[in-house]
Amino acid sequence: MVQTVKNVEFNSSSPAEIMEATYKAIENFQIRAFFEAKEDILKHGKFSEEEFYEILDAMIDAETERKIVLNRLIGQEPLFLEEIAALIQNFPPENVIRDVIYLKEQGYVDELVEVKTHTEIKKIKGEEKEVEVKEYFYRYQAKTLPEDFKEHFFEPVSIVYESGACCNCGCCSSICPLDAITVTADTLEIDEKTCIKCGLCFSTCPRSFSIEQVYNAIKKLDKKLKFSEKMGGYIETYTASTKVEEIKKVRQDGGIVTTLLQYLLENDLVDAIIAVRHSKEPWKPEPVIVTEVKDLYKTAGTKYANSPSLTIIDKAREYPRIAVVGVPCMMKAIYKASLFLNGFSFLKNIKYTIGLFCMESFSYENTKKLIKEKFEKDINELTKMNIDKGKFIINLKSGEELAVPLKEVQSYARDTCHYCEDLTSDYADISVGSIGSQAGFSSVVIRSEAALKVFKGAIKAGLIEAKNLAEVKPGQFLVEKIASTKRTKCKPVQLAPSK
Ligand SMILES: Cc1cc2nc3c(=O)[nH]c(=O)nc-3n(C[C@H](O)[C@H](O)[C@H](O)COP(=O)(O)OP(=O)(O)OC[C@H]3O[C@@H](n4cnc5c(N)ncnc54)[C@H](O)[C@@H]3O)c2cc1C
């Protein structure tokens, strides 16, 4: 289930403190921009008046809470996020943690990073070697602000796009109250005349500011979770395969994603699913809302071209309970939106997120080019594409299978994927990939109690066979190894200066 940071009562703060915090909160630029555009927003018709006030109330509550957190931080020495959460007990710890990071982005809080180095003995290519390991420690402290301090405002996400870091997930376009943002698989455009500069798009963008420290601190607080520096918080890991014959014909690996989605629909746990099917152009993904199992089968299988799937989360708002399938950047966008923008009804409707492992994706044009240049084939001849054991593999309608080393196709991948540190969709409820499992099986990382219930339910219903990932080779060792490589290679995002 998507972690929605709790809306809270302010009953443990004094009336004077709440009043002062609320007074300061309504000065916030996001709240002002959103409120001042009320007429335009209602005229546009995306939100009813009731929805408008629900979003506004949530924004004011979150900002008021932040101002109280800031007030309590003033005068404290630098502290770890966990220490701050223990110190400020007015609100649930996950709220305090997310607030500190947002306050940092607003310019109120400093992040102080300490690097400690130690040596460890590691086995490298069978040989034991002494290697230097760096550990990073993040502490936070309220800044001493000058008289003329102005709270930072968030630029529209064109700043991310212009920096080359936009992953085209499309979450910003769903969030925008005036639909001023158009996202396709390759482009992002903002209608400057319509944009109200509320910066809500920036708050949810997976590439705008980092929430890695929020994620780590929140997951480490949850004692039911194991925590891996390489693949995030999880309860259990499995290797699994579908038992549904129809799914075996269309699946990518173990068919686990499609089978779990079928289980969710058949057991009335969700009303709709956001997945990806082939568009009119084969292998060009098209995001789709699915409500019936027969349509679900058309979504199975991996399309290696990226899909702007989150452009349709607002279109699925009529369904009270939905599941979303996507790659890691999409999972992060949903998690970030649920942390910072909890007034949006269509975000609250997201009950389950299924994240795919993803090293990188390709633009559709480059996918076609890759097939032509590396295999001398036309994309229409393909029945499957796959990445396995360091090879890019294609299957053809003729029954032929061809492969080239993965290294040879890497130049076709999207540059923006190099800004992503996440292989295993750490921010999802369930993550599924092929790395670690044998052919016909998927590696499955269960990250929440609700997800575990669904997975076990699907096993009990005879839809899935599963073993612990530890029982197979290469198993979790390889998942963590490749996940660690992705973390190490990840480039930091440098946002373009505002014009
Ligand atoms: C771009 C991309 C790169 C990947 N890279 C890796 C990798 O490096 N290592 C690894 O182990 N696994 C990777 N995967 C995941 C892997 O290919 C399988 O999707 C995963 O193992 C699930 O297999 P399955 O048989 O359970 O899924 P299925 O039951 O076949 O279902 C696949 C699901 O994926 C969704 N989907 C397909 N294409 C896309 C897309 N472009 N964007 C969003 N959703 C999509 C479909 O809607 C469907 O719901 C990648 C997936 C994608 C989309």
Q: How far is the CA of 153 from the centre of ligand 1 (A)?
A: 36
Range with the poorest average pLDDT among 118-127, 326-335, 411-420, 473-482:
118-127
Please give the mean pLDDT across all residues of the chain.
Answer: 95
Q: Whose CA is nearest to atom 37 of ligand 1?
A: 302
Q: Which atom of ligand 1 has the smallest separation from the CA of 299?
A: 47
User: Which residues, 6+ apart, have CB-to-CB distance to 119 below 8 Å?
Assistant: 130, 131, 132, 133
Q: Which atom of ligand 1 has the smallest separation from the CA of 309?
A: 43
Of the residues 247, 251, 356, 385, which should be mutated to test ligand 1's pocket, given the most ligand atoms within 8 Å of the CB? 356
Pocket residues for ligand 1 (CB within 6 Å)? 251-258, 275-276, 285, 299-304, 306-307, 309, 325-327, 356-359, 361, 387, 432-435, 442
Summarize pLDDT for 78-133 with one digit per residue, the tens. Answer: 999 999 999 999 899 999 999 999 999 999 999 999 999 999 888 777 888 888 98
Using CA atoms, how far apart are residues 359 and 418, in angstroms rounded to an integer?
Answer: 9
Q: How far is the CA of 302 from the centre of ligand 1 (A)?
A: 4
Is residue 160 over pLDDT 60? yes
Is residue 499 over pLDDT 80? no
Q: How far is the CA of 326 from the centre of ligand 1 (A)?
A: 8
Is residue 59 over pLDDT 70? yes
Q: Which residue has the higher pLDDT, 14 or 325?
A: 325
Note the pLDDT of residue 300.
Answer: 97
Element housing 335 (H / E)? helix 328-340
Is residue 53 over pLDDT 90? yes
Q: How far is the CA of 241 from the centre of ligand 1 (A)?
A: 14
Summarize pLDDT for 271-309 with one digit per residue, the tens. Answer: 999 999 999 999 999 999 999 999 999 999 999 999 999
Is residue 451 over pLDDT 70? yes
Domain residue ranges of the chain, discontinuous segments joined by +:
1-153, 226-489
Q: How far is the CA of 277 from the centre of ligand 1 (A)?
A: 12
Q: Tell me the pLDDT band of 3, cut-offs 50, 70 and 90.
A: low
Q: Tell me the pLDDT band of 497, cut-offs 50, 70 and 90.
A: low
Q: Which atom of ligand 1 has the smallest separation from the CA of 327?
A: 43
Mean pLDDT of 481-498: 89
Mean pLDDT of 142-170: 96
Range with the poorest average pLDDT among 26-35, 293-302, 489-498:
489-498
Q: Judging by beta carbons within 10 Å of its beta carbon (0-12, 13-18, 19+), is residue 496 exposed, middle or buried?
A: middle
Helices (H) and strands (E) counted in the chain, each on its own, are: 18, 17
Q: Tell me the pLDDT band of 417, cut-offs 50, 70 and 90.
A: very high
Q: How much of the chain, in percent, has pLDDT values that exceed 70?
A: 98
Using CA atoms, how far apart are residues 272 and 291, in angstroms rounded to an integer?
Answer: 5
Show contacts of 223-226: CB within 8 Å, 24+ apart. 224/449, 225/447
Nearest to 142 by CA among 91, 88, 195, 190: 88
Summarize pLDDT for 228-275 with one digit per residue, the tens. Answer: 999 999 999 999 999 999 999 999 999 999 999 999 999 999 999 999
Mean pLDDT of 440-455: 97
Alpha-carbon distances, residue 43 vs 11, 52, 335 (angstroms): 36, 12, 29
Note the pLDDT of residue 125.
Answer: 76
Q: How far is the CA of 427 from the centre of ligand 1 (A)?
A: 16
Is residue 1 over pLDDT 60? no
Summarize pLDDT for 312-347 with one digit per residue, the tens. Answer: 999 999 999 999 999 999 999 999 999 999 899 999
Note the pLDDT of residue 129.
Answer: 87
Note the pLDDT of residue 2.
Answer: 56
Q: How far is the CA of 325 from the centre of ligand 1 (A)?
A: 9
Note the pLDDT of residue 86.
Answer: 96
Q: Which atom of ligand 1 has the smallest separation from the CA of 306?
A: 41
Note the pLDDT of residue 218.
Answer: 97
Of the residues 252, 265, 330, which should be mutated to test ligand 1's pocket, given the most ligand atoms within 8 Å of the CB? 252
